[in-house]
Amino acid sequence: MFGITAWIHAAGCVSRPLNPEDLSPDPYEQLTLWLDKARRARLPEPNAMAVCSVGEDGTPSQRMVLMKHHSPENGVLFYTNYASRKAKELEAHPKTSLLIHYHLLQRQIRMTGPVERATRAESEAYFATRPRSSQLGAWASRQSDILPDRATFEARFEKVKKEFEGKDIPCPEFWGGYRVRPDTFEFWQGRAYRLHDRFVYARDPAGAWTITRLYP
């Protein structure tokens, strides 16, 4: 064995069954198990996920973001520009679907639920951990606005770099987190002959999670 085949086998996930007894009763813990597996398999950016929003006319739109936190207490967090298209659409229709796909592990994770802004304290705390260049990038980008040319963007970057020279860079007011509190999580495990395994966690009215198997 060599190359990708060896890599997949080392990850131990070829057509691996997903049995009900393997599932954690807590979907956040199940998410952690799969994220850890993807990290151990050295997949690039295992926390990358598609986030869906819907425009005024009902047109859905998706883009990738990085999941920066997940826990039952605080939900699933990602960070972005509050003036971006996704932010405007999510604030107008505060529900979303998140999707993670690990092709080499034959796994897919889908989450759906309401979205809200993270607290200012959460956004500032996370922003402070970012590399300086990313902090400058956040200040320089008017994300989703029309950009006439690359030079304009680079000039804005140089301008903010000069402004903050020798200083700490604060979290911009127009930048911060969104928290998704999934009310469903779906874990999909690819199997041979398209006889995949698929389980959905849904919250019952008392707040407990129920797990249901679906046809793939």
139 makes contact with ligand FMN (CB under 6 A)? no
In angstroms, give the least distance from the CB of 66 to ligand FMN. 4
Within a 10 A sphere around the Cβ of 208, how many other Cβ atoms?
Answer: 9
Which one of the spans 6-14, 78-86, 100-108, 115-123 is the region binding ligand FMN (CB under 6 A)? Answer: 78-86
The correct pick among 85, 130, 142, 181 for binding ligand FMN (CB under 6 A) is 85
Check if 107 is active-site: no
Contact present, 209 and 27 (Cβ < 8 Å): yes
b/e burial code for range 169-199 (CB count within 10 A of at least 16 → b) = bebbeebbbbbbebeebbbbbbbeeeebbbb
Binders of ligand FMN among residues 86 to 125 (CB under 6 A) are: 86
Contact mark string toward ligand FMN, 28..57, x via CB under 6 A: -----------------x--x---------
Q: How far apart are CA 30 and CA 177, in angstroms?
A: 23
Token readout for 77 is 């967090």
Phi, psi (deg, nearest 5) at residue 195: -90, 60
In angstroms, give the least distance from the CB of 124 to ligand FMN. 16
Q: Between the CA of residue 200 and those of 26, 62, 63, 69, 207, what are the distances in Å?
A: 12, 22, 23, 21, 15
In angstroms, give the least distance from the CB of 80 to ligand FMN. 3
Token readout for 128 is 């402070």
From 39, 85, 194, 213, active-site residue: 194
Q: How far apart are CA 86 and CA 65, in angstroms?
A: 11
Which of 13, 90 has the CB closer to ligand FMN? 90
- Which candidate, 23, 61, 67, 20, places its Cα nearest to that of 48? 67
80 makes contact with ligand FMN (CB under 6 A)? yes
Which of 5, 61 has the CB closer to ligand FMN? 61
Q: How far apart are CA 207 and CA 205, in angstroms?
A: 5
Which of 80, 106 has the CB closer to ligand FMN? 80
184 makes contact with ligand FMN (CB under 6 A)? no
Which of 84, 123 has the CB closer to ligand FMN? 84
Q: Applying CB under 6 A, which residues contact ligand FMN?
A: 45, 48, 61, 63-66, 78-81, 84-86, 143-144
Active site residues: 194
